[in-house]
Amino acid sequence: MTESFALESALKRFESTFTQADLAFENDLFRAPMSLKTWFRYIEHKTETGASDEVISFLYERALKAIPYSYKIWHRYLTLLRKRATGLPIGHPAWRYLVTSYERSLAYLSKMPRLWIEYCLLLEEQQCITATRRGYDRALRALPLSQHERIWPNYIQFVTKCRVPDTAMRVFRRYLKFDPTKAEDFVEYLIAEKRYNEAAERFSKLVIDDTHRSKDGLTKQEQWLEFLELCCKNANGITSISVEAFVRHGIRRYTAEHAGRLWTTLADYFIRLGQFEKARDIFEEGMDLVSLVRDFSHIFDAYAKFEETLADALANAELDATPEGQEFEPSQELQLALARFEHLLDRRPILVNDVHIRQDPNNVQQWLERCRLHEADPEKVVSVFEDAISSVDIYTSGNGHYVDLWKAYARYFEQGRRFPGPDDTVPAGAADLDSARTIFERATSAPQRSAADLVDLWIAFADMELRHQNFDRTREVLKRATRTPSKKRAHPQAGASESMLERVARDQRLWNYYVDFEESLGTLESCKAVYDRILDLKIATPQTIINYGTFLEEHNFFEDSFRAYERGVSAFRFPAVFEIWNVYLPKFLQRYKGTKLERTRDLFEQALKDCPPSQSRPLFLMYASFEEEYGLARRALMVYERATQHVPVAEKHEVFLLYVAKAAQMQGVVATRDIYARAIEVLPDAAALDMCVRFAELEVQLGEVARARSLFGHGAQFANPKTNKEFWQKWDAFEVKHGDVETYRQLLRVKRTMAIKFGA
Express each pLDDT in 409-436 by its tens digit. Answer: 999 998 888 887 655 566 656 788 999 9
Letter for the amino acid at 423? Answer: D
Kind plus residue range of the DSSP H or E element containing 547: helix 542-554
Phi, psi (rounded to 5 degrees) for 557: -100, 75
Adjacent-strand bridge partners of 363: 398
What lies within 8 Å, CB to CB, of 586 at 6+ separation is 622
pLDDT value, residue 212 = 78
Per-residue pLDDT, 1: 36
* 10-residue averages of pLDDT along the chain (760 residues): 46 58 69 76 75 77 84 85 83 84 86 88 85 88 89 86 85 86 82 82 79 78 78 78 79 72 87 90 90 90 92 84 70 87 92 90 90 90 91 80 90 85 60 90 87 90 91 92 70 52 86 90 88 86 88 86 86 85 86 84 86 86 85 85 87 86 84 84 84 83 84 82 83 81 83 79
Q: Supply the pLDDT for residue 11.
A: 57
Comparing CA positions, the residue from 528, 541, 537, 542 lying closest to residue 505 is 537
Could you report the per-residue pLDDT of 344-384, keeping only the tens digit for each?
Answer: 999 999 999 999 988 888 889 999 999 999 988 889 999 99
Q: How far apart are CA 512 and CA 524, in angstroms?
A: 16
- Between CA 557 and CA 559 the distance in angstroms is 6
Query: In Å, how far are 6, 360, 368 from 392, measured between CA atoms?
Result: 101, 9, 12
Q: What is the pLDDT of residue 494?
A: 46
Every domain of the chain and the residues it spans: 608-683, 691-760
Q: Return d(Cα 709, Cα 747) in angstroms, integer.
A: 10
Question: Would the pTM count as exceeding 0.85?
Answer: no
Q: Which residues of 424-452 are buried (b: 16+ CB within 10 A; e: fewer)?
A: eeeeeeebbbebbbebbeebbebebbbbe
Whole-number Cα distances in Å, 656 to 615, 647, 719: 17, 11, 20
For 485-506, what is the HEC assignment?
A: CCHHHCCCCCCCCCCHHHHHHC
- Residues constituting the chain: 760
What letter would DSSP give residue 237? G
